[in-house]
Amino acid sequence: MTRAEVQNNIQYNERLVAQYQNQVNDLQRKISSLESQIRSLSSQKIDYTAQASKLKKQIDELNQLKKKFQSLQTNFSNRQSKRISKLNANFSHSLNVKFIKSYVSGMKTLLSGSEYKKANNGLTTAINKISKQISSIQKQVDEAQKKASNAQKEIDTKQRNINSYRSQKNTANSNLSYRRQRITYWKNQLRYATN
């Protein structure tokens, strides 16, 4: 083989080395960029998960408060019913004394009138407000969980791309190594080449 042919083989392999080296560098840049994006997405996912957890705790606290109000309302209604029953039991027979009639009428109004209804309606309003707040916070929980899930999906997609790029990079590195060996081989062949 002539010296010119050997040098052509060396140059051919050097071009391939440059090509594979560029490919390796390009793939490494893509991998590094995706790894950076994954770190950012992981941080976002942690934030969304923490936000959802904090909101769930608020929902738990509101549910406990709601149960207390419901229990209070039930106890309040039960006590009122017992008071009305006692009043009716104590004054069930016909009353002739005007003062007693007036007292019983006033007590019935007090026990089942507007003051009782206001108090009972106030408890119902408080329970409804708590329920609305729970519903509003639950929407925020769902949104935070959806964002965390979407972040994980993006992470998974980017990780698959990284795996693909690493495989391509390994192939390019293998080709690069082979072509460098070929350059060494052909440089050794120069001493045996003819003019």
Q: What CATH code is carried by the domain that includes residue 11? A: 1.10.287
pLDDT at 22 over 70: yes
pLDDT at 95 over 60: no
pLDDT at 182 over 90: yes
- At residue 3, what is the residue type? R
pLDDT at 167 over 70: yes
pLDDT digits (tens, 9 = 90+) for 30-60: 999 999 999 999 999 999 999 999 999 999 9
Enclosing domain of residue 15: 3-192
Structure tokens at 13: 């392999």
Query: How does the average pLDDT of the chain come out, rounded?
Result: 90
Overall domain count for the chain: 1
Structure tokens at 50: 């923490």
Q: What is the rounded average pLDDT of the residues 66-71?
A: 95
CA angle 70, 72, 76 (to 5 degrees): 120
